[in-house]
Amino acid sequence: MKKIAFALTAFLFVFTACQKEPDFIDTGNSSGNGGGTITSGLLVRSVEVNGADSTAIAYAYNTAGRLTQLDVSSTAASPFTYKLLRNTNGIITQTVARSPDLAAIGVDSLVTNVFYNSSAARYTYTRYDLNVGGVAYSDSTAFTYDASGNLASAISYQKVMLLPYAPSSRTDYTYGNGNVATEKTFDYDVTTSAWSLIATSAYTYDAKTNPLKLGTEAMIIGLTTFFGPNNTTGLTYTDATDPTNNYTQASTYTYNSASKPSSGTIVENPGAVNYSLRYYYN
How many CB atoms lie under 10 A from the CB of residue 261?
25
Question: Rounded to whole angstroms, how far apart are CA atoms 88 and 16?
Answer: 28
**Worst-scoring range by mean pLDDT, 13-22, 35-44, 120-129?**
13-22
Spell out the domains of the chain, with CATH numbers in brackets: 23-281 (2.40.160.190)
Residue type, 20: K
**Using CA atoms, how far apart are residues 148 and 152, in angstroms rounded to an integer?**
10
The pLDDT, as a whole number, for residue 136 is 94
Q: Looking at this protein, which amino acid is placed at residue 245? A: N
d(C-alpha 194, C-alpha 235), whole Å: 28
Q: Is the pLDDT of residue 107 over 60?
A: yes
138 in the Ramachandran plot: left (φ > 0), alpha (ψ -120 to 50) or beta? beta
Is 149:50 a contact under the CB 8 Å cutoff?
Answer: no
Give the three-state DSSP class for 220: helix
DSSP code per residue over 11-46: TT-GGG-SS----TT-----S-SS--B--SS-EEEE
Q: What is the pLDDT of residue 22?
A: 44
Which DSSP letter does residue 9 get?
Answer: G
Comparing CA positions, the residue from 60, 59, 65 lying closest to residue 40 is: 65
pLDDT, tens only, 218-273: 988 877 877 999 999 999 999 999 999 999 999 999 999 999 999 999 999 999 99
pTM, entire model: 0.85
- Write out pLDDT tens, residues 46-99: 999 999 999 999 999 999 999 999 999 999 899 999 999 999 999 999 999 999
Would you say residue 17 has pLDDT above 50?
A: no
User: b/e map of 63-87 (b: 16 or more CB within 10 Å)?
Assistant: eeebbbebebebeebbebebbbbbe
Q: What is the pLDDT of residue 220?
A: 85
Assess contact for 56 and 72: CB atoms under 8 A. Answer: yes
pLDDT grade for 213, boundaries at 50, 70 and 90: confident
Q: Quote the mean pLDDT of the chain.
A: 86
**262-270 long-range Cβ contacts below 8 angstroms, 24+ apart:** 264/24, 266/22, 266/24, 268/1, 268/20, 268/22
